[in-house]
Amino acid sequence: MINGFTDAQIITGLFAVIGGLIVLLLTQVGAFFAWIVRRLDRVETKIDALDVRLSTRIDAVDSKLSARIDAVDTKLSAKIDALTIAVSRLEGAVYHGLPEPRRAAE
C-alpha cells in the first residue's frame, strides 16, 4: 500500500496509463499513415495532370513532324522520279546511240 492505494489499484492504474499510451501511439501511427496516403494521392493527381499536359504537347509535336516528313517525302519522291526519268534517257542515249542530227531540207 502506497499513499493509501492498494497494490491492485496501483497496478490497475498503471495498466490504464500504459493502455492509454498504447492507444495514443496507435492513433498517431494511423494518422501518420493517413497523411502519407493523402500526400501520395496528391502526387498521383499531379502526375496524372502532368501526363495529360505532356501527352498533348507530344501529340502536337508528332503531328507537326509527321506533316513535315510527309512534305519532304513528297518533294523527294518527285525529285527521285525526275532523276529516274533523266537516268533512263541517258541510258537510252548511251546504249542506243544519239539520235541522228536532222538535216535541213535540201
One digit per residue, the tens of pLDDT, for the chain of length 106 reads 677 778 888 888 888 999 999 999 999 999 999 999 999 999 999 999 999 999 999 999 999 999 999 999 999 999 999 998 888 888 776 666 655 666 766 5
Residues 6+ apart with CB under 8 A from 1: 7
Is residue 18 within 8 A of residue 24, CB to CB? The reply is no
pTM for this predicted structure: 0.49
DSSP 19: H
